[in-house]
Amino acid sequence: MTDVGIVMPVYIQNPDFLRLALESVLKQTFTGFRLVVVIDGAMDMQPLVSRFTAGDPRVSIISYPVNEGVAHALNTGFDVLFEDPQIRYLTWVSSDNIYDPLFLEVLRRALVKGSPELGLVYSSFRTIDNDGKQLDDEHKLAALRQYQGQPKKKLLDSSIIGVSFMYKAEAAKKTGGYRMQPVEDYDYWLRLEEHCDIRFLPVELMDYRVHSSHSVSAQLTSKENHRKWRYTYHLTRLQARSRRGIPPALTILYPVAAPDPHHVYAIENIYEQTFSNYIFRIIDLSPDNQASAGLASISHPITEFVWLPGASVKHALYRMLLGIETPYTLLFGPKLFIAYMDIEYLMTGLIKHGETSISNYYTEDHSRIGYRSRGVPSVKQTLSNELFKTEALLELYQQKMVQNHPENEWLR
């Protein structure tokens, strides 16, 4: 029975990469599949695809003259497959990757033998360069398996599914089409797993070509394109949490008093953090609203700008604290976080030690995380870059206001 449907979107591609990708799909041990190749605005690719597939009856080719993007190409291919009542399992493949002969067989078997609730399975993969050289040793492969094998809830933080996967057509029809380019795959997984269970298979089933010349990842290396990717990536997670009724857990406050190039580095530092379930409030204290003027151009879906002209840092932060609804608050700046997972580690640590601690922070040398307890003098003199329980921070802030602590003791 032909019950597996595959889509391969093709734009401009290295002919050798395209040949290897198509050959690897056509030589699968499981042969009961249909492959729809969608040529997305690169008409000169059609003769190559025709030659490399050599009239294989399992292959259909769709082409159109204008490049519409990966999401449109995927939807075009899957619309064809949805018309075939025999197709029960779906996947899509890239035109520069190489798929192991058992790729389809192993993924399909897991779905067939899985529970009715299981709708998607995914495996690990190897990485190769443009010459086909393997880039991973066993240590890196083991680390990737551990990362991808995290619980399902971690999908809200990062795209643990990766590039080797198969899912049920039944779940796909409930999910709808691909969208949110260039994170169309991640957005799709978040919506798909709202209809089904997912399962990781700790085995490598393909070679993923890293930053090949015409890949989407290669196009994201410029600062402007990376910012667009990051905005959509954060927006996708925000939409998923909104659908599931998950409120923000953290408010980050960042006061700016005057225009400074450092502010750009600072907000980029926050946006690159792996932890994403936050509200970022930039407080502009300048009299003319110019301290934050250049920052709004660096788009982010969960950033708010508040203008409090002439207010002191101390009083502006206190005013903001009175309106915070999240359980945790962080007063950011002027120093930056060192690592991408800094806030995530702080959140994990404070939640774990929540009964005994009101806040935590990195020590000056970043070697460990320190904790502050209610009523116990802290070795940390300022409140900057310290993660607090919001109620405890407001209480501490009010005490400091009464004691009239100097302005420079709040953020330094």
Sheet of 59-64, strands arranged across:
59-64, 33-40, 4-10, 89-92, 165-168, 118-128, 197-209, 98-99
Give pLDDT tens digits for 292-321. Answer: 988 988 989 999 999 999 999 989 999 999
Q: State residue 344's pLDDT score.
A: 96
Which one-letter DSSP state was computed for residue 285? -
The mean pLDDT of the chain is 94
> Quick check: do 4-223 and 247-409 share a fold?
yes
pLDDT digits (tens, 9 = 90+) for 13-42: 999 999 999 999 999 999 999 999 999 999
Determine the pLDDT at residue 61. 97
- Region 62-68: mean pLDDT is 96
pLDDT at position 376: 85
Contact (CB, 8 A) for 305 and 282: yes
Q: List the chain domain ranges.
A: 4-223, 247-409
Collapsing DSSP to helix, strand or coil, 79 comes out as helix
Q: Listing from the earlier edge strand, what are the strands of the sheet with 278-284?
A: 303-307, 278-284, 250-256, 328-331, 387-389, 359-362, 369-372
pLDDT in tens, 240-252: 999 999 999 999 9
Cα(289)–Cα(338) distance, rounded to whole angstroms?
29
38 near 112, Cβ under 8 Å? Answer: no
User: Fold for domain 247-409?
Assistant: Spore Coat Polysaccharide Biosynthesis Protein SpsA; Chain A (3.90.550)
Q: Within a 13 Å sphere around the CA of 412, how many CA atoms are in the beta-carbon half?
A: 9
> Which band of pLDDT confidence, cut at 50, 70 and 90, is reported for residue 1?
confident
Architecture per CATH, 4-223: Alpha-Beta Complex (3.90)
Maximum Cα–Cα distance across the chain: 83
Q: Using one digit for the tens of pLDDT, what is the confidence trace for 355-399? A: 899 999 999 999 999 999 988 888 888 899 999 999 999 998 888
Q: What percent of the chain has pLDDT over 90?
A: 87
CA separation for the pair 361, 370 (Å, rounded): 5
The answer to whether 53 and 37 have CB atoms below 8 angstroms apart is: yes
